[in-house]
């Protein structure tokens, strides 16, 4: 769902908009979007980062603004996923994200956007405009705003040279500017690209600048920005966090089970982050002492364990493939697959973790006639019996403890281009005992494949746990 409502800006933000040419009378209204999936705080509400966060009311929290720079954003060619990712992380510090703003690659637009952001917030995180081309102007705009010179960082330049050398190329002279930052800045090293980011404390504000490439931004956010902001936020009080990953329950189902914990005005704060079937439950507790914060956190985590049970797949950040891999290694089990409907995605997911040779035996790709599987003539690839046979053949042929069989995707007659969905059968055979599930997923064939692959891993996990009882 994508719902938009018009709101009139208020307070310092409104005054700043009126003063600067980026908005003013030409844009008296802002359009605020509510996008799903988001960070849900119960009763179908989306998180407002300024309300109900752990550690007090919105008035005493660090205020943050996010400025995304790039013509590709303002022209609509690319979606600004960076601001969404940053906001989700900041909301759990907790910090109040008061502004998302996108501007194009023009010096005046960047200046105006920076003025608006600095007027509205204590912390400004800027993404984009750090490339080596003439229209990458972010570093110059920030330096000019604070009347600072651009200086070259020797270590950053050496890293760029090293990165090109690793690729067997010489660094073009145009990339030299990517090692330049405003004087007084702290370099944020880029382990995933050439453009250095930087942190500039100035005029009582905290400015963080990263490349616009999400892969590179994510690394800087996790490795530098969030640790630095936690130091600011946690000054004077103590924050403890827990992350639980849940699979097999929809977001609404989790909300029903833990509704008392989802109130917006309580401490700890809980947030639900859905991604392709896995729901990440983040818990943030604040206290006047570390012991108080830990006690509040552990009380909520204990309730989550009691209410969600085996739907919790990890409490340490591990995703489904790693959880399954660790479980197989722990139990000394091996696994093999036969797939028709998922294009090998189950195998790909099972072998994502390092050391997969310890648990993964074989992936069998049957021929079109499926004669090698011993299926009765005329049996459909989408039948339950087909999936069960596949799982059994996978286990026996590979001499593995576990076999997984995935049948073809069946597209029901009422599936339409506007509302597509598919049905797929996933069978798991553990030590000769087979079970099969019929799974229905909304979306096109690619989406159904992805969801089915994760569902297969989840079924393996549950079956192995059952065998251990």
| DSSP per-residue codes, 277-325 | TEEEEEEEEEESSHHHHHHHHHHHHHHHHHHHGGGEEESSS--HHHHHH
Q: Are 346 and 337 in contact (CB under 8 A)?
A: yes
Taken in order of first residue, the domains within the chain and their CATH numbers are 62-233 (3.40.980.10), 236-317 (3.30.70.2860), 320-466 (3.90.950.20)
Query: What mean pLDDT comes out for the span 85-112?
Result: 90
Q: Smallest Cα–Cα separation from 46: which of 262, 244, 296?
A: 262
Q: Smallest Cα–Cα separation from 277: which of 460, 461, 448, 466?
A: 448
Q: How far apart are CA 40 and CA 42, in angstroms?
A: 6
Contacts of 167 (CB under 8 A, 6+ apart): none
Query: What mean pLDDT comes out for the span 265-284?
Result: 87
Q: How far apart are CA 346 and CA 335, in angstroms?
A: 11
pLDDT band at residue 81 using 50, 70 and 90 as cut-offs = very high
Q: Smallest Cα–Cα separation from 452: which of 357, 360, 367, 339?
A: 339
Distances (CA, A) of 117 to 213, 226, 232: 21, 19, 19
Q: Are 281 and 254 in contact (CB under 8 A)?
A: yes
pLDDT band at residue 47 using 50, 70 and 90 as cut-offs = very low
Tokens of 122: 């204590």
- Whether 199 shows a pLDDT value over 90: the answer reads yes
Half-sphere exposure of 290 (CA within 13 A, CB side): 0
More confident residue, 213 or 421: 213
pTM, whole model, 2 decimals? Answer: 0.64
**How does pLDDT run across 360-393, given as a tens digit for each residue?**
999 987 655 455 666 666 667 778 888 899 999 9
Residue 400 CA from chain centroid, whole number: 34
Contacts of 59 (CB under 8 A, 6+ apart): none
- Whether 5 shows a pLDDT value over 70: the answer reads no
- Whether 237 shows a pLDDT value over 80: the answer reads no
Most confident of 117-126, 222-231, 417-426, 447-456: 117-126
Query: At CA 368, angle to CA 367 and CA 371, rounded to 5?
Result: 65
Residue 379 is predicted with a pLDDT of: 67
- Whether 420 shows a pLDDT value over 60: the answer reads yes
Residue 175 is predicted with a pLDDT of: 94
Q: Smallest Cα–Cα separation from 329: which of 312, 346, 350, 313?
A: 350
DSSP 136: -
């Amino acid at each position: 769902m994508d719902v938009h409502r018009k709101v009139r800006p208020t307070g310092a933000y409104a005054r700043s908009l009126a003063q600067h040419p980026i908005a003013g009378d030409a844009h008296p209204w802002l359009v605020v979007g509510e996008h799903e999936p988001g960070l849900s705080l119960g009763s179908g509400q989306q998180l407002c980062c300024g309300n109900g966060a752990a550690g007090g009311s919105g008035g005493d929290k660090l205020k943050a603004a996010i400025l995304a720079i790039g013509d590709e954003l303002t022209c609509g060619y690319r979606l600004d996923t960076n601001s969404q990712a940053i906001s989700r992380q900041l909301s759990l510090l907790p910090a109040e994200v008061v502004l998302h703003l996108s501007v194009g690659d023009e010096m005046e637009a960047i200046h105006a956007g920076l003025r608006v952001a600095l007027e509205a917030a204590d912390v400004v995180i800027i993404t984009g405009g750090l490339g080596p081309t003439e229209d990458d102007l972010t570093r110059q705009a920030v330096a000019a705003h604070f009347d600072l010179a651009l200086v070259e960082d020797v270590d950053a330049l050496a890293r760029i040279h090293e990165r090109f050398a690793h690729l067997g190329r010489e660094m073009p002279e145009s990339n030299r500017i990517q090692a330049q930052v405003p004087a007084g800045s702290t370099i944020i090293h880029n382990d995933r690209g050439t453009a250095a980011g930087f942190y500039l404390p100035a005029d009582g504000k905290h400015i963080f600048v990263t490349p616009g490439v999400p892969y590179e931004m994510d690394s800087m956010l996790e490795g530098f920005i969030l640790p630095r902001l936690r130091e600011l936020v946690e000054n004077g009080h103590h924050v403890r966090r827990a992350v639980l990953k849940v699979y097999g329950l929809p977001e609404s189902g989790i909300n029903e089970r833990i509704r008392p914990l989802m109130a917006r005005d309580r401490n700890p704060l809980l947030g639900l982050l859905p991604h392709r079937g896995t729901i990440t439950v983040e818990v943030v507790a604040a206290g006047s002492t570390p012991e108080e914060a830990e006690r509040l956190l552990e009380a909520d985590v204990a309730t989550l364990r009691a209410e969600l049970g085996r739907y919790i797949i990890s409490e340490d950040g591990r995703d489904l493939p790693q959880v399954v891999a660790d479980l197989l290694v722990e139990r000394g089990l091996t696994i093999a697959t036969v797939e028709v409907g998922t294009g090998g995605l189950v195998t790909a997911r099972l072998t994502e973790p390092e050391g997969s040779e310890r648990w993964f035996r074989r992936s069998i790709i049957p021929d079109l006639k499926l004669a090698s599987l011993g299926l009765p003539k005329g049996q459909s690839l989408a039948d339950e019996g087909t999936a069960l046979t596949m799982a059994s053949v996978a286990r026996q042929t590979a001499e593995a403890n576990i076999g997984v069989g995935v049948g073809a995707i069946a597209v029901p007659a009422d599936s339409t281009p506007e509302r597509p969905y598919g049905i797929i059968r996933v069978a798991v055979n553990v030590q000769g005992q087979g079970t099969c599930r019929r799974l229905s997923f909304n979306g096109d064939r690619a989406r159904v494949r992805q969801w089915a692959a994760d569902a297969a891993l989840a079924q393996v996990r549950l079956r192995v746990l059952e065998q251990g009882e």
